[in-house]
Amino acid sequence: MNKNQPIGIFDSGLGGLTVLKALQEKLPNESFVYIGDTAHVPYGNKSQKAIINYTKTLSNFLIEDHNVKMIIVACNTASSIALKSLQRAYKIPIIDVISPIQSLLLENNQIKRIGIIGTHNTVKSKAYNKLLLSINPKLKIFSQACPLFVPIIEEGLENHQITKIISGEYLDPLIYKKIEALILGCTHYPILKKNIKSFLPASIKIFDSAETLSIHTKKYLINNSLISSSSNHATHLFITDESDHFNRFACHILNNQFSTISSIQLF
């Protein structure tokens, strides 16, 4: 494996761009190939079989067409449902967005009550619960599915009044449970981070999976001698269905730090 090969990233849509941005900042010499499955977004209400099939198609594209050195699953739903299937199917490293959160918990071991927000599938999988309880069985964990957050973000309504109303509906039950930290269990959600923060007491810590994943990925690359030393790097974006929202968010979130954006048919 050549350390200067690109890193592959996939997500159900545009949420994973928050992960890509964090990775670009942490790993300025790396090249990236990102694919957003805009033809099937959101994954949160799809069957497990469909999600596994989608993720294998996206992984094949990244490996066979772009020769990536590793794949980052920048989607909590896919991480919770398809990760083991992907790791069995491919030989290259595959890093999910859920596992790195354990380092945050170890660094904040005084926290005893944690809230988790995510899609229906992520919450139903209990992937975060299993991970967190394996570290500290005494933790009190409270999960809240937030199915409207992804379509709100995909439609560009993150600053709309409806977002404030929905945020209150989702977050009030967790505040009532006296949580001490909140895990944003979907890579879309950092786009709503300011909105979410405004509803929470200042004492509640917010754990952003995009930032945590970027730190974990950098450590992995360094420890395995895979970090790029190339000055000739680029970021290429792909989507599986045309999306004006994706294009606008890519320009906004990444501050135009990408070379190309293309729509392709994989399904």
Q: What is the pLDDT of residue 21?
A: 94
Q: Which of 76, 13, 75, 73 is nearest to 40 (CA)?
A: 13
User: What's the total number of domains in the chain?
Assistant: 2
| 216 and 121 assigned to the same domain | no
Report the phi/psi class of residue 34: left, alpha or beta, with left for phi > 0 and alpha for psi in -120 to 50: beta
For residue 267, pLDDT over 80 is answered with yes
For residue 231, pLDDT over 90 is answered with no
Q: What is the pLDDT of residue 26?
A: 95
Q: Please identify, among 193, 209, 225, the residue that sits at the C-terminal boundary of a domain.
A: 209
Query: Considering the chain, what percentage of its residues have pLDDT values greater than 70?
Result: 100
| 238 and 217 assigned to the same domain | yes
Whether 2 maps to a domain, the answer reads: no
Is 146 among the catalytic positions? no
Q: What is the pLDDT of residue 265?
A: 93
| 150 and 240 assigned to the same domain | no
Mean pLDDT for all residues in the chain: 91
C-alpha distances (whole Å) from 93 to each of 8, 70, 224 are: 10, 5, 10
For residue 121, pLDDT over 90 is answered with no
| 121 and 82 assigned to the same domain | no
Active-site hit among 98, 186, 226, 250: 186
Whether 147 maps to a domain, the answer reads: yes
Q: Which of 77, 84, 76 is nearest to 50 (CA)?
A: 77
| 54 and 154 assigned to the same domain | no
Burial class (CB in 10 A: 0-12, 13-18, 19+), 35: buried
> What does 57-103 look like in DSSP terms, one character per residue?
HHHHIIIIIH--SEEEE--HHHHHHHHHHHHHH-SS-EEESSTTHHH
Whether 195 maps to a domain, the answer reads: yes
Active-site hit among 75, 111, 114, 141: 75
| 44 and 114 assigned to the same domain | no
What average pLDDT does the segment 25-41 reach? 95
| 22 and 153 assigned to the same domain | no
> What does the chain look like in DSSP terms, one character per residue?
--TTSPEEEEESSSTTHHHHHHHHHH-TT--EEEEE-TTT--GGGS-HHHHHHHHHHHHHIIIIIH--SEEEE--HHHHHHHHHHHHHH-SS-EEESSTTHHHHHHHTTT--EEEEEE-HHHHHHTHHHHHHHHH-TT-EEEEEE-TTHHHHHHTT-TTSHHHHHHHHHHHHHHHHTT-SEEEE-STTGGGGHHHHHHHS-TTSEEEEHHHHHHHHHHHHHHHTT-----S---EEEEESS--HHHHHHHHHHTTT--SEEEE----
Q: Please identify, among 173, 189, 209, the residue that sits at the C-terminal boundary of a domain.
A: 209
CATH number at residue 138: 3.40.50.1860
Whether 30 maps to a domain, the answer reads: yes
| 113 and 155 assigned to the same domain | yes
Q: What is the pLDDT of residue 131?
A: 87
Whether 198 maps to a domain, the answer reads: yes
| 105 and 202 assigned to the same domain | yes
Whether 1 maps to a domain, the answer reads: no
Q: Please work out, in degrees rounded to the nearest 5, the angle formed at the alpha carbon of residue 143 by the alpha carbons of 140 and 146.
A: 160
C-beta separation of 239 from 217 below 8 A: no
Q: Which domain holds residue 153?
A: 101-209
| 82 and 45 assigned to the same domain | yes
Q: What pLDDT, in 10s, does the model give residues 162-186?
A: 888 999 999 999 999 999 999 998 8
Q: What pLDDT, in 10s, does the model give residues 60-114?
A: 999 999 999 999 999 988 998 999 999 999 999 999 988 888 877 888 889 999 9
pTM of the model: 0.85
What average pLDDT does the segment 41-59 reach? 92
Q: What pLDDT, in 10s, does the model give residues 186-224?
A: 888 888 998 999 989 999 999 988 888 999 999 999 999
Whether 31 maps to a domain, the answer reads: yes
Whether 111 maps to a domain, the answer reads: yes
Is 75 among the catalytic positions? yes
C-beta separation of 101 from 170 below 8 A: no
| 166 and 196 assigned to the same domain | yes
| 92 and 107 assigned to the same domain | no
